[in-house]
Amino acid sequence: MIWVFVSTTAFLLIYTVTINRIVRRSVPDNSGTLHHNPVLNRVFAARGISDPEDLDVSLKLTLPPTELGGIGRATARLRRALELGETIAVVGDFDADGATSTALACSALTAMGAAQVSFAIPKRGRDGYGLSIDIVNDVAQSGATLIMTVDNGVAAHQGIEHASELGIDVIVTDHHLPGDKLPSPVAMVNPNLLGDTFASKHLAGVGVTFYVMAALRTELRNADWFNSRAIPEPNLAEWLDLVAVGTVADLVPLDANNRRLVEQGMRRIRAGQCRPGISALIAFGRRPQSDVVSSDLAFSVAPRLNAAGRLDDMARGVNCLLSTTAATARELAQTLDNLNNERRVIETQMRDSADLAVQKLQANGRALPIALCLHHPDWHPGVVGILAGRIKDRHNRPTIAFAASPDGKLVGSARSISGFHIRDTLADIANQHPDLVERFGGHAMAAGLTIPAHRLGEFEAAFVNASESRLGADPGVRDMFSDGELSHSDMTLDLAKSLRFAAPWGQAFPEPCFDGEFDLLRSRVVGERHLQCELAVVGGQSVSGIAFGQAAHQGMQRAHLLYRLEINHWRGRDALQLNISHVQPLG
């Protein structure tokens, strides 16, 4: 059954009218018994779970590394590098997935007996994305004879060719969608390569790295490497904390395989069996480590890691993750926290100018384009991705935000809406307009690109046209999904706790959300923009709620709410609280 209601919300200083439509998720009639709690049973069934085994998060059920294409060639070359004592350079990316991938590869290779392991992370403003010629030259000066890319490389044609000319082999481990033509490294591991039979196409870069290290350990064990050299055989579970952080941060879909990897990593974090850097980042996010769930990683750890790559040098983030002492980790985490605070200030300034740009697009009553392409000469290239996401969320349109790069080009970050594949759209534009898009890559929901600065207008027209052909109608309606109503007897602290830890919620496996009508007994504005309220539950006791950014609704007496059940920790006590994401006043 699908139940819909429509509301209209006008944002301050923005002429766009956003239509919010609550849609109740349908539950198959033959859902069976997935969980003993009927609420959780319907929640899981509504997310497409039909086999209880899909809720089993045991590591034994993760897909085996042998099913990942190219992994044999990669581990054979890594084994040879270990045997010959070669210097290995790990080349990562400047986001949280890239940082966790880099830290995992460096730490695991060292634990397995690699003679010398170094890492290199491109600087966003100087080097651009991935394995560039400049990065290869830097690596060559360090004496490395083998490069292992993590979370990049599938499009690094020039970098891999240059490395080959210098006598440096390259192993590519990546998860980004490939282009029509692949580079030629000595090995390439990517579940999204054409013809690869690996059942999960949604591994993050850190997940691919984890699988390669697991396969390498098996190969070394079979060769009696550890025994013959008196090296303790590492337990790969020690790196699952990194896998959890990188997977959640990169917003890849949490299919059954990813849920197992993330859940096992979070259990180690909650048990205090994680690296000091992750503990320090959690502490700066003011989260109790023993209670951490995936949303804490997404909103506490990931932004602080990403801040290094956005504003400074992601090497700081990698070094924080590689720290072996709490004191060093805390010092580096403090730097990352400071950078994240700076990022917030920059983002606010950029969002104000973006709002003004959108207003200009709607001047004199004009309709907003079906897709948005925005640029300002003062925007920071490291923050345009966040900005594009904010504008996309606000207007429910595919959005690209551009900033200037030091070489006179424009670097853009794209964010998409449900049902619109942004990376494929960029591929279509590149095919139809040769030389218009110099570089691009990404996924269905997020991508990056570089274009000549003087061709911004031409690109904008091509982007809007391509979006119109794919989207058809105006995408101004935003569906907000609900798992239905809760009875007063279901609104308990116990259910809130069960929901919190029932699964690693995230991309394509969203946290349970419910809707219903409530009387508002009391309400007050807190923090200038938020509404704190006391709600009457029909047939039960009252419950508190918080509606972020909904202060304009103060004084209403009855409303239809979309909300999540949450646990409010206050002065050593836990209490039930509704986290209200949408308010529709009634009567």
Residue-level pLDDT at 367: 85
Other CB atoms within 10 A of residue 95 CB: 27
Where are the extended beta strands (E) located within 282-376? 372-375
The pLDDT tens digits of the residues spanning 132-175 come to: 999 999 999 999 999 999 999 999 999 999 999 999 999 999 99
Q: Residue 95 — φ and ψ, nearest 5°?
A: -120, 180
DSSP tag of 365? G
Cα separation of 523 and 526, whole Å? 10
> If pLDDT is split at 50, 70 and 90, which confidence band does 5 have?
very low
The pLDDT tens digits of the residues spanning 210-263 come to: 999 999 999 999 999 999 999 999 999 999 999 999 999 999 999 999 999 999
Give me the helix-helix angle, 422-432 and 456-471, nearest 10°.
120
Residue-level pLDDT at 3: 40
Cα separation of 110 and 196, whole Å? 29
The pLDDT tens digits of the residues spanning 106-120 come to: 999 999 999 999 999
pLDDT at 523 over 70: yes
Residue-level pLDDT at 14: 36
> If pLDDT is split at 50, 70 and 90, which confidence band does 1 have?
very low
pLDDT at 530 over 60: yes
Cα separation of 238 and 265, whole Å? 9
Q: Residue 563 — φ and ψ, nearest 5°?
A: -150, 165
Three-class SS state of 114: coil
CB 404 within 8 A of CB 377: yes
Residue-level pLDDT at 473: 65
Task: Work out whether the CA dihedral 369, 387, 430, 377 comes out positive or negative.
Answer: positive
Residue-level pLDDT at 236: 95
Residue bearing tokens 């403003």: 125
Three-class SS state of 346: helix
> If pLDDT is split at 50, 70 and 90, which confidence band does 531 have?
very high
How do 169-173 and 187-189 pair as beta strands?
A: parallel
- pTM score: 0.91
Give the distance, in angstroms, between the CA of residue 337 and the centroid of all CA atoms in the same chain: 19
Cα separation of 426 and 444, whole Å? 10
Percent above pLDDT 90 for the chain = 78
> If pLDDT is split at 50, 70 and 90, which confidence band does 8 have?
very low
Residue bearing tokens 């190969």: 219
Q: % helix / strand / coil in the chain, to the nearest 5?
A: 45, 20, 35
How do 116-120 and 87-91 pair as beta strands?
A: parallel
Cα separation of 173 and 162, whole Å? 18
Cα separation of 138 and 121, whole Å? 11
Mean pLDDT within 551-568: 91
The pLDDT tens digits of the residues spanning 321-343 come to: 999 999 999 999 999 999 999 99
Three-class SS state of 153: coil
Domain boundaries along the sequence of the chain: 4-58+479-585, 62-338, 351-474
One-character DSSP codes across 492-510: SHHHHHHHHHSS--BTTBP
Q: Which fold has domain 62-338?
A: inorganic pyrophosphatase (n-terminal core) (3.90.1640)
Cα separation of 113 and 121, whole Å? 23
Residue-level pLDDT at 265: 98
Mean pLDDT within 509-522: 94
**Average pLDDT, rounded, for the chain:** 91
> If pLDDT is split at 50, 70 and 90, which confidence band does 125 have?
low
Residue-level pLDDT at 479: 85
Residue-level pLDDT at 16: 43
Task: Work out whether the CA dihedral 159, 161, 162, 167 comes out positive or negative.
Answer: positive
Q: Which fold has domain 4-58+479-585?
A: OB fold (Dihydrolipoamide Acetyltransferase, E2P) (2.40.50)
3-state SS, 11-73, equals: CCCCCCEEEEEEEECCCCCCCCCCCCCHHHHHHHHHCCCCCHHHHCCCHHHCCCHHHCCCHHH
CB 484 within 8 A of CB 514: yes
Residues 6+ apart with CB under 8 A from 250: 95, 96, 97, 204, 205, 206
Q: Residue 178 — φ and ψ, nearest 5°?
A: -80, 160
pLDDT at 556 over 90: no
Of 8-17, 353-362, 448-457, 506-515, the poorest mean pLDDT is in: 8-17
> If pLDDT is split at 50, 70 and 90, which confidence band does 538 have?
low
Q: Residue 532: in which H helix or E strand, if any?
A: strand 530-536
Q: Residue 357: in which H helix or E strand, if any?
A: helix 326-361
Of 189-198, 235-244, 552-561, the poorest mean pLDDT is in: 552-561
Percent above pLDDT 70 for the chain = 95
pLDDT at 536 over 60: yes
pLDDT at 383 over 70: yes
Q: Which fold has domain 351-474?
A: Diaminopimelate Epimerase; Chain A, domain 1 (3.10.310)
Q: Which two tokens stand for residue 5?
A: 């209601």
Q: Residue 525 — φ and ψ, nearest 5°?
A: -85, 130
Where are the extended beta strands (E) located within 92-181? 116-120, 146-150, 169-173
Of 117-126, 370-379, 457-466, 467-476, the poorest mean pLDDT is in: 467-476
Cα separation of 543 and 566, whole Å? 11
Q: How far apart, in Å, are the Cα atoms of 426 and each of 198, 396, 567? A: 26, 19, 42
Q: Which long-range contacts (CB under 8 A, 24 or more apart) does 430-436 make?
A: 432/462, 432/466, 433/458, 433/459, 433/462, 436/462
Of 6-15, 332-341, 530-539, the poorest mean pLDDT is in: 6-15
- Expressed in angstroms, the distance from the first to the final Cα of the chain is 26
> If pLDDT is split at 50, 70 and 90, which confidence band does 476 have?
low
Cα-atom radius of gyration of the chain, to the nearest Å?
25
Q: How far apart, in Å, are the Cα atoms of 523 and each of 10, 123, 391, 532, 573? A: 22, 48, 29, 6, 22
